């Protein structure tokens, strides 16, 4: 319909893992809005990206580096 289809899960085939955050879930949903002024639909895709941040690991590394520097 109108040139694109969207599944419930987003395409993560080009995802590159990162040491600072992890992709938990990628959700994509297609929405269509009709306005009273126009006959044609106005589609859009909404993405919900859920990530976790490795803040604990970063803080631990920084503290270890500071301790090593002081002694």
**Is 9 inside a domain boundary?**
no
pLDDT for the residue 11: 77
Are the CB atoms for 23 and 56 separated by under 8 Å? Answer: no
Q: Residue 56 belongs to what domain range? A: 21-70
Compute the distance between CA of residue 32 and CA of residue 30 in angstroms, rounded to an integer: 7
- What does 4-27 look like in DSSP terms, one character per residue? ----SB---TT----SSEEEEEEE
| Comparison of pLDDT for 10 and 63, the residue scoring more | 10
Report how many domains make up the chain. 1
Cα(6)–Cα(60) distance, integer angstroms: 40
63 found inside a domain: yes
Report if residue 61 sits inside a domain: yes
Report the percentage of the chain scoring pLDDT > 70: 66
Closest by CA to 29, choosing from 50, 8, 5, is: 8
In a domain, 13, yes or no: no
Does residue 57 fall inside a structural domain?
yes
Residue 11: inside a domain, yes or no?
A: no
Between 13 and 10, residue with greater pLDDT: 13
Helix (H, G, I), strand (E, B) or coil at 67: helix
In this model, does residue 71 exceed pLDDT 60? Answer: no
């Amino acid at each position: 319909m109108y040139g694109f289809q969207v599944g419930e899960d987003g395409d993560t085939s080009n995802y590159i893992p990162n040491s600072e955050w992890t992709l938990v879930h990628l959700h994509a949903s297609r929405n269509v809005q009709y306005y009273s002024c126009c006959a044609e639909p106005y589609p859009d895709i909404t993405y919900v990206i859920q990530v976790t941040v490795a803040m604990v690991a970063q803080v631990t590394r920084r503290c270890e580096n500071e301790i090593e520097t002081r002694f």
